[in-house]
Amino acid sequence: MVRTRILGCGTYLPANIVTNTDLSKRIDTSDEWIRERTGIHRRHIAADNEWTSDLAVHAANAALSDAGLKVSDIDLIMVATATPDHTFPATAAEVQRKLGLKRGAAFDLQAVCSGFVYGLSVADAMIKAGQAQTVLLIGAETFSRILDWTDRGTCVLFGDGAGAFVLQATPFDEIPGKKAEGPGILSCYLRSDGEYTDILYVDGGPSSTQTVGKLRMQGREVFRHAVTNIADAIRSVLRDVDLQISDIDWFVPHQANVRILTGTAKKLRIPEEKVILTVDRHANTSAASVPLAFGEGLVDGRIKPGDLVLFEAMGGGLTWGGVLARY
Ligand code: UT7
């Protein structure tokens, strides 16, 4: 039997930090409103000459060094992003070029804020099917490029950044009756509901308007679905391996709004000290937020080898899902 292990993690945040107070000088908002409604204090914004692939490469190099592997060990690059460098080729192909990787395959995966959780599930399936041995999965976004900076209801919510995992096939013999023992990805759950394409979307695209477009959101509607769908994802991944909420060491959620996270924690009786929170300093970095949060938990020593970690996300589509892994 083969399991997918998380061998390394790396992150990258652009140098430029924009605070709520900075934003309040440009639009009709306040530090108080943003903190109270979202928990966000500040966000990182990419420089004009920094593209999604540049952020991705920084995170990828950090993840490879954490894993103790060389670029040439990778046989598949997946980039989860809704803000690619170009319509095509895939940003993953740009990353492959910039890393100097001469082998393997590269493609992008589009599930907006759920992109990294979708990516973990796809990487796990590719590894278990024998189609890849060592996968570089990157969540990288420059959402600042698709924001309408005159719309205070959305532009205060997002930031730029990237996070990457190195995932590798590892032989593993399951102990009968102990599905959740041993390192690696233990269960995955993916969902989408296309009925709600109109509550969180970008109003442009190559086939429709031939423009890039700007992000549009009915915030209250998205909020309402988020708490229900995240609870669905968490319950489903746990059910798969006969575990309870109390078995989990760390919850690493997509970081959209601190109220969504505390609301979900309360609903499911998850102790708040088990939830890794970065939304206050990163804002919502879409597909990058899950690996950015995991990376922070690793670097500050909270997440340790052997810990049971539950990743979850929900975003445009609507898409949502969860992945349970032992680090
Ligand atoms: O990554 C996954 C996708 N995204 C999400 O999960 C986000 C989900 N939604 C949310 O986080 C929240 O709905 C928001 C933070 C976006 C908004 O919070 P809300 O409590 O739902 O506020 P609202 O949109 O209902 O607006 C309340 C008021 C309105 O004023 P009136 O009509 O009551 O006078 C807005 O115009 O707040 C006003 N408002 C602002 N005021 C100051 C909206 N944005 C701002 C702002 N600064 N930035």
Residues facing 275 on adjacent strands: 251
Q: How far apart are CA 79 and CA 52, in angstroms?
A: 10
Q: Mark whether 89 and 204 lie in a shared domain.
A: no
- Dist. CA 156 → ligand 1 center (Å): 10
Instruction: Please name the residue whose Cα sits nearest to atom 2 of ligand 1.
Output: 315
Domain assignment of residue 178, yes or no: no
How far from 146 is each of 62, 212, 216, 219, 299, CA to CA, in Å? 27, 8, 10, 16, 30
Domain assignment of residue 84, yes or no: yes
Residue 98, classed as helix, strand or coil, is helix
Which whole number is the average pLDDT over 62-84? 98
**For ligand 1, is residue 111 a contact (CB within 6 Å)?**
no
Q: Mark whether 46 and 140 lie in a shared domain.
A: yes
Burial 228-244 (b: 16+ CB within 10 A, else e): ebbbbbbebbbebeebe
**For ligand 1, is residue 291 a contact (CB within 6 Å)?**
no
Which whole number is the average pLDDT over 46-57? 98
Q: Mark whether 124 and 226 lie in a shared domain.
A: no
Instruction: Please name the residue whose Cα sits nearest to atom 25 of ligand 1.
Output: 220
Domain assignment of residue 179, yes or no: no
Q: Mark whether 189 and 160 lie in a shared domain.
A: no
Largest Cα separation within the chain, whole Å, is: 61
Instruction: Please name the residue whose Cα sits nearest to atom 8 of ligand 1.
Output: 223
177 vs 213, which has greater pLDDT?
213
Instruction: Please name the residue whose Cα sits nearest to atom 41 of ligand 1.
Output: 29
Q: Mark whether 197 and 123 lie in a shared domain.
A: no
CATH number of the domain that 215 lies in?
Answer: 3.40.47.10
- The answer to whether residue 179 scores a pLDDT higher than 90 is no
Containing domain of residue 257, as a range? 184-326
Express each pLDDT in 54-67 by its tens digit: 999 999 999 999 99
Of the candidates 43, 53, 122, 48, the residue with the CA atom closest to the CA atom of residue 86:
53
Q: Mark whether 210 and 297 lie in a shared domain.
A: yes
Contact 116, 184 (CB under 8 A): no
Determine the residue of 23, 26, 37 to mutate for testing ligand 1's pocket, defined as the one with the most ligand atoms within 8 A of the Cβ atom.
Answer: 37
Q: What is the pLDDT of residue 230?
A: 95
- Dist. CA 220 → ligand 1 center (Å): 7
Q: Who contacts 71 (Cβ-Cβ below 8 Å, separation ≥6)?
A: 64, 99, 100, 101
Q: pLDDT tier at 73 (50, 70, 90 boundaries)?
A: very high
Catalytic residues: 113, 254, 284
Query: Of 171, 206, 239, at which residue does a domain stop?
Result: 171
Express each pLDDT in 270-293 by its tens digit: 999 999 999 999 999 999 999 999
Domain assignment of residue 177, yes or no: no
Q: Who contacts 323 (Cβ-Cβ below 8 Å, separation ≥6)?
A: 117, 120, 121, 124, 185, 187, 188, 189, 237, 310, 311, 312
- The answer to whether residue 177 scores a pLDDT higher than 90 is no
- Dist. CA 236 → ligand 1 center (Å): 29
- Dist. CA 81 → ligand 1 center (Å): 24
Domain assignment of residue 315, yes or no: yes
Q: What is the pLDDT of residue 84?
A: 98
Q: Mark whether 239 and 146 lie in a shared domain.
A: no
Q: How far apart are CA 21 and CA 25, in angstroms?
A: 7
Of the candidates 201, 231, 199, the residue with the CA atom closest to the CA atom of residue 214:
201
Q: Mark whether 137 and 194 lie in a shared domain.
A: no
Q: Mark whether 118 and 191 lie in a shared domain.
A: no
Domain assignment of residue 58, yes or no: yes
- Dist. CA 253 → ligand 1 center (Å): 21
Q: Mark whether 72 and 133 lie in a shared domain.
A: yes
Express each pLDDT in 216-231 by its tens digit: 999 999 999 999 999 9
Domain assignment of residue 47, yes or no: yes
Query: Of 171, 204, 238, at which residue does a domain stop?
Result: 171
**Domains of the chain: total:** 2
Q: What is the pLDDT of residue 221?
A: 96
Q: Mark whether 165 and 204 lie in a shared domain.
A: no
Domain assignment of residue 119, yes or no: yes
Query: Of 114, 147, 171, at which residue does a domain stop?
Result: 171
Q: Mark whether 153 and 199 lie in a shared domain.
A: no
Q: What is the pLDDT of residue 178?
A: 80
Residue 95, classed as helix, strand or coil, is helix
Q: How far apart are CA 242 and CA 139, in angstroms?
A: 29
Model-level pTM?
0.97
